[in-house]
Structure 1
Amino acid sequence: MSAPLLVGVDVGSTTVKAVAVDPSTDAMLWSDYQRHETKQPEKTLEFLGRLEADLGISNATCRMFITGSGGSTIAPLIGAKFVQEVTAVSLAVEKLHPEVHSVIELGGQDAKIIVFKEDPETGRKKKIP
């Protein structure tokens, strides 16, 4: 793998989810999903420790992105870039499922609906604000 691995972490109101992806193949190399029992930072650090042990990653060998209700607080502590949840979901859907017109995301404390529409100028699909 020549490009740094992409690591995504979602620190939600009830769970932490994480994934490591090889950007050259889009292959998912590692993932986990666990309840954090109100211990968001501790569970996130546990995940990162296992990622490091399992894949040998570090801040130098990965690009890390974090989202979720606890993400903005934890991001600067672990060197991750915070991405707002709707933006994260929208970018993933646009890349992985461009045929989709809407997404409903149910979280532990809220729900979101994202609607996509084709931009007549560019032909690209974009989320409707």
Structure 2
Amino acid sequence: MSEKQLPDEVIVGLDVGSTTVKAVVMDPANNDILWSDYQRHETKQPEKVLEFMKTITAAFPNHPKEKMRVFITGSGGTSIAPLIGAKFVQEVNAVSLAVEIFYPTAGSVIELGGQDAKIIIWKEDPNGGKRKIPSMN
């Protein structure tokens, strides 16, 4: 995507897990993925996050940093978020939000991570809508 086509604001998402870091840059207006990567961090979570942030900045050189909203999740996200000015989102909430946007008819999700497993079940709420029931080991 050329700089001329970039949206005014982008969302940067980082998932800092026990073995890998995943990163994505998205257009919040239409959820288009503008850039993504997935790499092992070899026990160097902060270094890999910094590497990703430098790569993202280089990939979007004319995009102002203040127009990049950064969110982070995962087992390593809590301690790294304040260091890079990111908002931390708990893993189950991050998975729930993504599923509700991209797969709104899903009834359940099982996510197996490096440290734990998560299951989220959506049930019809008698008062309308759906109620989510999350569980982690």
TM-score (normalised: structure 1): 0.93
CA distance in 2, matches of 1:62, 1:120: 39
Residue matched to 1:17 = 22
1:91 is matched with which residue?
97
Unaligned runs of 5+ in 1: none
For 1:99 and 1:45, locate their aligned partners in 2 and report how far apart those are by CA, in whole Å: 36
Whether contact under 8 Å (1:52, 1:58) holds in the other structure is: no
Task: Provide the aligned length of Structure 1 versus Structure 2.
Answer: 127
> For residue 38 of structure 1, what is the aligned residue in structure 2?
43
CA RMSD in angstroms, aligned pairs only: 1.2
Q: Write the mapping of 1:84-123 to structure 2, written as runs, cut at 5 A.
A: 84-123=90-129
Letter in 2 for 1:24: A
Distance (whole Å) between structure 1 residues aligned to residue 64 and residue 39 of structure 2: 22
Structure 2: runs of 5 or more not aligned:
1-6
Instruction: Return the match for 1:71 from 56, 77, 88.
Output: 77
Q: Secondary structure of the equivalent of 1:41?
A: helix
Structure showing greater radius of gyration is 2
CA–CA distance in structure 2, aligned partners of residues 73 and 119 of structure 1 = 36
Q: Are 2:18 and 1:6 equivalent residues in the alignment?
A: no
Q: Which letter does structure 1 place at the counterpart of 2:123?
A: K
Q: Deviations over 1:70-98 (max 9, x none)?
A: 00000000000000000000011011101
Q: Percent of aligned pairs with the same residue?
A: 66
